[in-house]
Amino acid sequence: MKSFQEFEQLLDDHFGRLESLKYDANAALALVSNIQELAASSIETFGLAASLAHGVTILASHLVSGKEGPPPDIETLMSDLSFCVNYFSLRELLYYSYNVPGAVEWTFEEGKVQVRYADSSLPRQFYTIWNEHLELSREMFASSTYVETARALLKGEAEGQISQNVEAASLQIDQEVDQKLNAYFSILDPTSSADLGGYTYAEFVTIYRFMLGNALYHRRFGEANDQVGAIFIEYDELLNDLEVGTGLPRSRIASALDDMVFDVAKHREKLDASYFSLMREGAGTRRIVLRPVDFTIHEGLVNVLRVVAIRRPQLFLRNVSGELGVGFVARVKAAFEAAGFRCLTEISLSQFDPQLADIDLLVICEEPTLGYVLFVCELKGPIPPRWAKDQLKALRQDGVSKAFRQSEAIQKFLSTPAGIGAMKSWLPPDNPPLFESFVLVVEPLIVTSDNAGMFFGDEKTPIANFRTIERLLKASDGDTAFIQHVIHTYNKEVDKIINRVVAKTEFAGIVVEYEGVADSPIMRFPQQSWRNSEERQAMIDAFLADGAHPFDTVDLDAKEVPPGTILIAFKNGS
């Protein structure tokens, strides 16, 4: 074996010979669903459940096929599922290898294959998403008691029976639903009337909210009474429950469910099973399979948009893309404003050059002893990816890669006399600088819905995930220097703490070792005290009392400024 292309063929051939592909599909679906839910019910095996979910994704086309066969042997099924977990990870690395030459390094020896990240932006991305997920979860549940309260109320109750305790638990579960919906990629207005194809986004949110509440009830009830497992629902029964629970027309509910359930039809459409939590049997009465824990951690708001974008791309572009972009700008703007900064959005530069893109977001940071720091932000808010094929869309001509070229063109313009004049016109007239001569620091920044620089390690313009930016701004208390420092050193600091590990598997007589990212130290930004601190005001007062000047605080001829940063001196009010 001499190439990853040959390895891919070997991998696929081995998958095609798995014994589990001969098992009765409905029985195998039930068994793997219950195994995954059992693993997810314990904190000790929760990570295993997440890995098993990847294996289920790979096996999904068979699980929903309805094929008849012998009952599954649990030991063989688990062995095959373990192979599929590795298959999922190796599939990711193969996608990167085909589409980003040099991103992954393959070494072939007799009976052995080694796979390593050659591009450090890949593990950095995986760490960032993992870290942001943990920090968001910590923030969500830090002071909440509704999970434990719901469990206590449901303990000893009869499942499916209404009682005073069950009703009280439902109120606690409603709080958890609210928290989850707020934490998800909830960029679109939940009342949006955007047509997704037979139902609106608002109708989907109503349906999803009802189903999320039911899944959380089953999850918390199972945890309280040691009765964990998948739920099997007749399709018409589910439609009836949703019709009663939401008050929506049956046809609208059916259309939404069609985008939420992985079945034979979705496999034929070549939709990836990772976009779905709900699965449907392919034989018999074709019940819907709900894995309660999986459903409650599967971001349905993101995944339905991804499915709509793939199944009905023109409708998505027409009805959703614009609203999503506007909402994303508003979200990032709100984060900067909450930190005390002034913001301008959608600044047109076409009067200077029709080829220049608009500035999506301009953040004006007033610095009394300096002048101003301007963050010139290009925003890219595509739907967050689920797997490698989605991540690679960042490289498309209209993807994240485009933001770098737009940012570079804007930076170049801002260095011209016309650009400098434009920047001066954007400064707040109601709060002029303390000095007639002052310094303007221009910081380019790309903010995305997910990408933290994956595939773009050689670019000079800083790029950050919006959740990282939100956490940073909350911690900054308006300290601009702190924000600048974190943005410019983030990659270096992550590389110091990231835990890159090697997984090992064996199949077809070959030992395969491939690199991944394991649990690592959490990166938290220390809370600053700046905007209203006595120390800050004392520093400003001392600066003025000493007769100091903004030109004393910065080397205007500095050659060691971060790439892309622009220093401009406005002298004598010019």
Q: Do 202 and 77 belong together in one domain?
A: no
Give the SS3 label for residue 570. strand
Contact assessment for residue 60 and residue 11, using Cβ atoms and an 8 Å cutoff: no
pLDDT in tens, 250-273: 999 999 999 999 999 999 999 999
pLDDT at 496 over 70: yes
Q: What's the rounded mean pLDDT across residues 289-298?
A: 96
Q: Is residue 134 part of a domain?
A: no
326 and 281 share a domain? no
Could you give the number of structural domains in the chain?
A: 3
The phi and psi torsions of 316 (rounded to 5 degrees) equal: -60, -45
Within a domain: residue 531?
Answer: yes
pLDDT at 357: 96
Same domain, 472 and 364: yes
Looking at the structure, tell me whether residues 431 and 468 fall in a common domain: yes
Please tell me whether residues 483 and 456 are part of one structural domain: yes
pLDDT of 417 > 90? The answer is yes
DSSP class of 195: B
At residue 351, does pLDDT exceed 90? Answer: yes
Residue 243 has pLDDT above 60, yes or no: yes
199 within a domain of the structure (yes/no) = yes
Q: What is the spatial distance between Cα 392 and Cα 385, in angstroms, rounded to a whole number?
A: 9
Residue 343 to residue 396: CA distance in whole angstroms: 29
Domain that includes residue 280, residue range: 144-311
Under a CB-based contact definition with an 8 Å cutoff, are residues 512 and 505 in contact?
yes
Angle 138-497-384 (CA atoms, 0-180°, nearest 5)? 55
Q: Which amino acid is at 167?
A: E
> Which of 311, 339, 364 lies at the terminal end of a domain, its last residue?
311
Assigned domain for 341 exists: yes
44 and 90 share a domain? yes
Longest dimension (CA), the chain: 88
Give yes or no: residues 200 and 228 share one domain. yes
The answer to whether position 119 is within a domain reads: no
Residue 561: pLDDT over 80: no
pLDDT tens profile 268-281:
999 999 999 999 99
User: What is the residue type of 159?
Assistant: E
Phi-psi region of 477 (alpha: psi -120 to 50; beta: other; left: phi over 0): left
Same domain, 402 and 254: no
Within 13 Å of residue 468, how many CA atoms lie on the same side as its CB?
A: 28
| Short-list 449, 52, 485, CA closest to 274 | 52
In this model, does residue 574 exceed pLDDT 60? no
Number of Cβ within a 10 Å radius of residue 19: 13
- With beta carbons less than 8 A apart as the criterion, state whether 384 and 449 touch: yes
User: Is 148 domain-assigned?
Assistant: yes
Is the pLDDT at 366 greater than 60? The verdict is: yes
What are the backbone angles phi and psi of residue 572, rounded to the nearest 5°? 50, 40
Report d(CA 120, CA 103) in Å as an integer. 8
Please list the alpha-helical segments (H only) found in 427-565. Answer: 466-476, 480-497, 534-545
Q: 114 in a domain, yes or no?
A: no
Half-sphere exposure of residue 178, counting CA atoms within 13 Å on the CB side? 8
pLDDT surpasses 60 at 75: yes
**Two tokens, residue 17:** 């010979």
Q: What is the mean pLDDT of residues 394-414?
A: 94
Ranges 9-23, 124-138, 544-558: which has the least confidence: 544-558
Strands (DSSP E) found in 322-392: 342-347, 359-367, 371-380
Separation between Cα atoms, residue 514 and residue 115, nearest integer Å = 4
pTM of the model: 0.93
In this structure, of 126-140, 255-269, 526-540, the range with the lowest mean pLDDT score is 526-540
> Which pairs with CB-CB distance under 8 Å and at least 24 residues apart come from 412-420?
413/349, 413/352, 413/353, 413/356, 414/376, 414/442, 414/566, 415/566, 418/352, 419/352, 420/568
* Helix intervals (H) in 226-284: 235-246, 250-258, 264-268
Domain boundary among 290, 311, 332: 311
Report the candidate in 74, 72, 75, 80 with the shortest Cα–Cα distance to residue 55: 80
Domain boundary among 41, 72, 99: 99
Residues 294 and 342 in one domain: no
Q: What is the reported pLDDT for 566?
A: 78
Whether residue 479 is found in the same domain as residue 518: yes
Residues 305 and 333 in one domain: no
Using the predicted structure, report yes or no on whether residue 548 has a pLDDT greater than 90. Answer: no
Q: Tell whether 465 and 538 lie within a shared domain.
A: yes
- Number of other CB atoms surrounding residue 521 within 10 Å: 11
pLDDT digits (tens, 9 = 90+) for 305-327: 999 999 999 999 999 999 999 99
| Structural domain contains residue 115 | no
Instruction: Kindly state the average pLDDT of the residues 521-543.
Output: 87
